[in-house]
Structure 1
Amino acid sequence: MMMKWGQICNLIHGLKPALTMVVVQVAFAGVNVFYKLAANNGMSLRVIVAYRFIFATAFMVPVALILERKSRPKLNLKILFQAFLCGLFGGSLSQNLYLESLVLTSATFASAMANLVPAITFVLSISIGLEKLGIRTRAGKAKVLGSLIGIGGAMILTFYRGVEINIWSTNINLIRSNGHVASLHADPGKRFLGALFALGSCFGYAIWLVIQAKMSEEYPCQFSSTALMCVMGAIQAVVFALCMEKDWSQWKLGWNIRLLTVAYSGIVASGLMVTLISWCVRTRGPLFASIFNPLMLVVVAILSSLILDEKLHLGRSNGGELLNKF
């Protein structure tokens, strides 16, 4: 009996990283829906990102100071520079690009394009020695094939829309209820531009995972590293928003979808979920943390079709299926 209980405990312990990343992707799917609602409510994209990291900083800094006050190593210039890069590639830059893509396309499309992250992370990890290719092994061949299939799926998703697929309809459209309805999806040029923004966001996210793995080796404190990343991301995002956004009314928050969006995306996504990602990267590596991205597509597609009245199309279905193969 003791042996069986011990085996169960070992199994649960071994599944912790995978279960953690499942929770992360479900939480990130919620961010996609909130982003779309806030953007269609008229909120500036740059202000959304700035407030996201302001809320994340306000939450994570006290948590890090309390929980890791005795175990936190001393800061040095190298750690601060890595935190700056994490805040840039995993925060302000990638989020601004992603939000632009989300508004120009749809929540489902942007989430599907994000599934290129495993392939990009795989290539980057090999190039700097974090992962071994092992092309003669089954695992190596599977990774290469998965990368090629993922790229093919992204191309189908971008260039081929296909016929509409009607699975269910709840007649619920939270975007229309807010009084702002975007009509960008019919413009192929804007959809292609949105795909380019999404691709740039994928590269930024993949670079962040690789830098985070390096940072975790010298600074193995996930709460403190996340807090540093949030501080750097907040500074960058606020400076960028102040330079680009001249309408001061955009910074006003009320008890509405705008406040809910920035609070959820900041505290839950950039705070708690990024901390969990940092832990997974430190324990299992950047590639492991990236391979769960396809799960977000499934959750976002379901939520978007149920509450945003987004339509699934054959091209997106086939392209998303190929992306999920990785």
Structure 2
Amino acid sequence: MALIENYTGFERVKHVGAMTLAAVLLGGNIVLSKVAADDGMTMRVMVAYRWIFATAFLAPIAIVVEWNKRPKLTWTVIVQAFLSGLLGGSLFSILFYTSVIMTSATFATAIYNLIPAMTFVIAVLLRFENLSFDKVSGKAKVMGTMICVGGAMLLTIYKGIEVHMWPIKIDLLHHDNESTTHKKLVGGTFALGIVLAVTSCICYSLWIVLLAKVSKNYPCHYSSTALMSLMGSIQSVLFALCFDRQVSQWRLGWDRRLFVVLYLGTLGSGIVVILMTWCSQKRGPLFVSVFNPLILLFVALASSLFLNETLYLGSILGGLLIIMGLYVVLWGKGKDMKASKAIILSKGALQKNDLEAPNQDQGNIN
């Protein structure tokens, strides 16, 4: 029994660590996207390169690691991969990063933290998550999700006094040059940016729920992720070519643009999607989405260091609320998993007794 408990605890640490790493990498995506926009790179081209490099990174890994493990590729899997590439790849990325330009990085990231609540509702409606208000675990998941979202909102809305955490600051932006991306989106309104941000959250929530389905039908993490990235790259390239046909927009040199798209494609997309797909299969879509508020915390810390943005007391208080909410939700998920394992073990014991009973009766007759 102790061995089972230790194994369960070790698995829990792995899942939490994987999603924390994914949140850090996704926070890097947002910070570096501001750097790319500051250099004049359009969000459409950046998203296209992101998924191109993600496919180039994941495809060889999938071929080598899962050479003899991949099941037959069916039309159902292909359609699900196409939808995954659309909802969690090309469409979400274009909507979200465009909303960052039309509003602000802080505002768009705050709206991004509505994803746990949206995912929770969608997962319950589609019966991917069990919700029982008469159980403590069900109340904990609802309360924890609300605390996470509330902490993210507090982090953005309330400022408070300035907090100087870093003895030095590394400013990566060219404040003397107006980004051409900003110039091209002057006609965009703040209200449209809000609509794009909310729509991107809906797409992302649907994608998180879809991940669990993809993992069951095609249980090869690397191959399914590579297939999704391929679909996302095709979609985003076709969309970008409709607007950005100049060669200069697509040209990459040995500069920050190349570094940004390499990071977005390998670490910020390839590794992140692998981690999220694995955790979604093991712990469910709510477990994955509840870590999204951590991204805002990491963005606040990184922005104060690399983008010359001021860190306020509200950011620290909001971050503490986010962590508190995570613990509440994880506790509720842990209670559900223990209950599920107890049911499985009891069913296994009953089946074993049913199989042993005829043998005992036969022995008594003999």
* Counterpart mapping for 1:1-326 below 5 A: 11-148=9-146, 165-168=161-164, 170=168, 172-176=170-174, 179-180=177-178, 190-312=189-311, 325=325
CA distance in 2, matches of 1:285, 1:277: 10
CA distance in 1, matches of 2:314, 2:210: 34
The number of residue pairs the alignment matches comes to 319
SS at match of 1:136: coil
CA RMSD of aligned residues (A): 3.1
Task: State the identity as a percent.
Answer: 45
CA distance in 2, matches of 1:272, 1:175: 26
Alpha-carbon shift at residue 200 of structure 1 (Å) = 1.6
1:16 partner letter? K
Decide which structure has the larger Cα Rg and report it: 2
The question of whether the paired residues in 1 share the 8 Å contact of 2:41 and 2:181 is answered with: no
Residues 299, 162 of structure 1: CA spacing in aligned structure 2 closer, same or farther, 3 A cutoff?
closer
1:34 partner letter? L
Q: Which runs of 5+ in 2 are unaligned?
A: 327-366
CA distance in 2, matches of 1:163, 1:296: 18
CA distance in 1, matches of 2:111, 2:313: 16
Alpha-carbon shift at residue 34 of structure 1 (Å) = 0.9
Residues 162, 122 of structure 1: CA spacing in aligned structure 2 closer, same or farther, 3 A cutoff?
closer
Alpha-carbon shift at residue 212 of structure 1 (Å) = 1.0
Alpha-carbon shift at residue 143 of structure 1 (Å) = 3.1
Residues 105, 153 of structure 1: CA spacing in aligned structure 2 closer, same or farther, 3 A cutoff?
farther
Q: Which runs of 5+ in 1 are unaligned?
A: none
1:295 partner letter? L
Residues 270, 171 of structure 1: CA spacing in aligned structure 2 closer, same or farther, 3 A cutoff?
closer
SS at match of 1:80: helix
CA distance in 2, matches of 1:126, 1:101: 28
Residues 260, 75 of structure 1: CA spacing in aligned structure 2 closer, same or farther, 3 A cutoff?
same
TM-score (norm 1): 0.86
Alpha-carbon shift at residue 24 of structure 1 (Å) = 0.8
Alpha-carbon shift at residue 32 of structure 1 (Å) = 1.2
Alpha-carbon shift at residue 172 of structure 1 (Å) = 3.8
1:50 partner letter? A
Q: Report the more deviating stretch, 148-157 or 260-269.
A: 148-157
The question of whether the paired residues in 2 share the 8 Å contact of 1:61 and 1:227 is answered with: yes
Q: Report the more deviating stretch, 68-77 or 312-321.
A: 312-321
Residues 231, 191 of structure 1: CA spacing in aligned structure 2 closer, same or farther, 3 A cutoff?
same
Q: What do the CA deviations read for 1:244-292 (whole angstroms, capped 9, x no partner)?
A: 2243311000111111111111011221221111111111111111111
CA distance in 2, matches of 1:263, 1:15: 29
TM-score (norm 2): 0.77
Residues 208, 215 of structure 1: CA spacing in aligned structure 2 closer, same or farther, 3 A cutoff?
same
1:279 partner letter? W
CA distance in 1, matches of 2:222, 2:163: 42
1:300 partner letter? V
SS at match of 1:224: helix
The question of whether the paired residues in 2 share the 8 Å contact of 1:119 and 1:146 is answered with: no
